[in-house]
Amino acid sequence: MQSKKRSIRLSALFALFSVTLLTTSKYTVAQEEIVLHSFLNNGQDGQTPSNPLIFDGAGNLYSTTEGGGAYNSGTIFEMSPNAGGGWTENPLYSFPDNGTYSEGLNASGGLILDGLGNLYGMTSEGGMGRACFLGPGCGTVFTLSPKAGGVWAYKILHYFNDNGGNGPGGGLVFDADDNLYGVTAFGGSTNAEGTAFELSPAGNGKWTESLLREFHPGLYGIVPGGPLIFDADGNLYGTSASGGTDSRGTVFELSPAGEVGWMETVLYSFVENSGFTPNGGLVFDANGNLYGTTAIGGANCAYIYSCGTVFELSPAGDGSWTETTIHSFSQTATDGFDPNGGLIIDSSGNLYGTTAKGAAYNGGIVFELTPTASGNWTETVLHSFGRAKDGKSPRSSLVFDSSGNLYGTTAEGGLDGVGTVFEITP
């Protein structure tokens, strides 16, 4: 595979030190939030959307729901813009409840698209009806392909098992050769607690799984959950919710090492007196710095509370990385807390994300973090959820359209209280 032949850059095992920067906060009145769709408890529509949205080339949005649909086992849905304004939601596929959940159960992580318009995703359970640690089946990788007449065809590409990892989540990513990469939160060989895997097309519609890494307790991370991302050299980066020197989670790098396979390097181990438990993915800025969120801890909460942080990891030039907490969330009426999703970044280096709780109506927020000339960051609350028929509890990252509008989902709220799709317009 081409990406495995690229140069290997190894980083030191742990960062040298951590720094915390002051973050100021403010509200803004220059943003407008619109509920594009309220999911309905009608036996057909999905419920509880907790994964990110993605755009196709025609401006349609796609994602999944954890519940609802024809069998109350979740859906894959499409949001299409109307010519006269507004949006139409269409459930493309309902995960079946056939007693064995052979087609997958609990869609986990976001969807991705290939160049032909096929959707790819994962379920954290189900598949072949085999009992696993998490429940009925160890999970699947699937594709949903558009056919003539507006029909979509669902197909399982891979069934997980205990040795190959179970409980996939976070989402998938393609390399330049159309191989798929992801993580499982559990499984692997004896004493393993999660895997990183590659799925390669083998012809005749079949795919072959290769394990890049098995995560074992100790200094390395365990229970990886966020999506992987590539750098320009073909190295993969991700987060683990536990493990590391203080058992509070890690940021790790996986580097292709020829015949040896892939080598894991822990870039940073989270500690109890800072933010920890990173559940979301990472994002690069133009200078090679990494950004992400932690669901717990921070300067404004005792470590047992789920306030959370936004952090930056900067390469120090000698292979080590420096962690900086650029924002600590607080349980106040003017800030959110409990960020579960990752971040996105705009061309100016501003970061955007969500929290599941907090602020004026305790329904979570959409926030922006803006770097200042002094090296600090300013938080702006773009929207507070939870009022009237608005959405509540966003649990995933956001996506931009070409005009700079933000789109996302809430797992609760809306007309029937089972979630929404929303847009925030500058």
Is 247 within a domain?
no
What is the pLDDT, as a whole number, of residue 16?
32
Predicted confidence (pLDDT) per residue in 179-223, tens digit: 999 999 999 988 889 999 999 999 888 899 999 999 999 888 999
Is 108 within a domain?
yes
Q: Report residue 166 as tokens.
A: 């179970």
Domain carrying residue 328: 17-218+269-425
Is 399 within a domain?
yes
Is 71 within a domain?
yes
Long-range pairs, 393-396, Cβ under 8 A, ≥24: 393/356, 393/357, 393/363, 393/364, 394/341, 394/354, 394/355, 394/356, 394/364, 394/366, 395/50, 395/340, 395/341, 395/354, 395/356, 396/50, 396/51, 396/52, 396/110, 396/340, 396/341, 396/354
What is the pLDDT, as a whole number, of residue 24?
55
Is 239 within a domain?
no
What is the pLDDT, as a whole number, of residue 101?
80
- Overall size of the chain counted in residues: 426
Is 260 within a domain?
no
- Considering its fold, how many domains does the chain have in total? 1
Residue ranges in the chain whose pLDDT is less than 50: 1-22, 27-29
Is 196 within a domain?
yes
Contacts of 398 (CB under 8 A, 6+ apart): 52, 341, 344, 352, 353, 354, 366, 406, 407, 408
Q: 391: domain CATH number?
A: 2.120.10
What is the pLDDT, as a whole number, of residue 27?
47
Is 11 within a domain?
no
Q: Report residue 276 as tokens.
A: 């920890």
What is the pLDDT, as a whole number, of residue 322?
95
